[in-house]
Amino acid sequence: MEYATFNVIIYRMTPKKDRLLEYIDEMEKDVQVDELSVKEVQMKLPALKHKWVGRLMRHKAIIGGLYRKKEAMKREAGEKMKESTMYNMSDVALDKLIEKQDSIMDLNTEISEHKLVVEFLEKSERIFSSFTFDIKNLVEVMKLETF
């Protein structure tokens, strides 16, 4: 019961982390192998690689879009601040002030959450690349057990 409450809190606070948990659960199902499903898993492997690499690329594209949005927001906020201040501020001080705005901090949080998902998917891609060898080794062990 406490776990369900905890998941609801995570979902409301950080939806990207919830997405990460969904991906972890889904990948766990994708990589389950037993003696009866070896051939089926091996046949699905190219499609699984494609699915996970596609998700990786989508998240990387989202990160790129968020960075562009952040730069546009920073540029706009910088222009507004320069117009509204009575004195000149250095670009470094202005940039620090802009980074503390709630909208920029929210974007930074969203970017870091997507980066976490990207890191997971990159590591998963390496796992799927070695999965072919793991299946081959499993088949060899099954052959040895039958003799």
Q: pLDDT tens across 89-131, in order?
A: 788 888 888 899 999 999 999 999 999 999 999 998 888 877 7
Whether 71 maps to a domain, the answer reads yes
Whether 142 maps to a domain, the answer reads yes
Count other C-beta atoms under 10 Å from residue 23's C-beta.
Answer: 17
**Is this structure's pTM higher than 0.75?**
no
Whether 31 maps to a domain, the answer reads no
Whether 58 maps to a domain, the answer reads yes
Whether 138 maps to a domain, the answer reads yes
Whether 109 maps to a domain, the answer reads yes
Whether 145 maps to a domain, the answer reads yes
Alpha-carbon span 9 to 16, nearest angstrom: 13
Total tally of structural domains belonging to the chain: 1
Task: Give the rounded distance of the alpha carbon of 70 from its chain centre.
Answer: 19
Tokens of 73: 């927001």
The mean pLDDT value of the chain amounts to: 81
pLDDT 10s digits, 43-100: 788 888 889 999 999 999 999 999 999 999 999 988 888 888 777 878 888 888 889 9
Whether 90 maps to a domain, the answer reads yes
- Judge contact between 113 and 16, C-beta under 8 A: yes
Its domain, for residue 61, covers 47-147
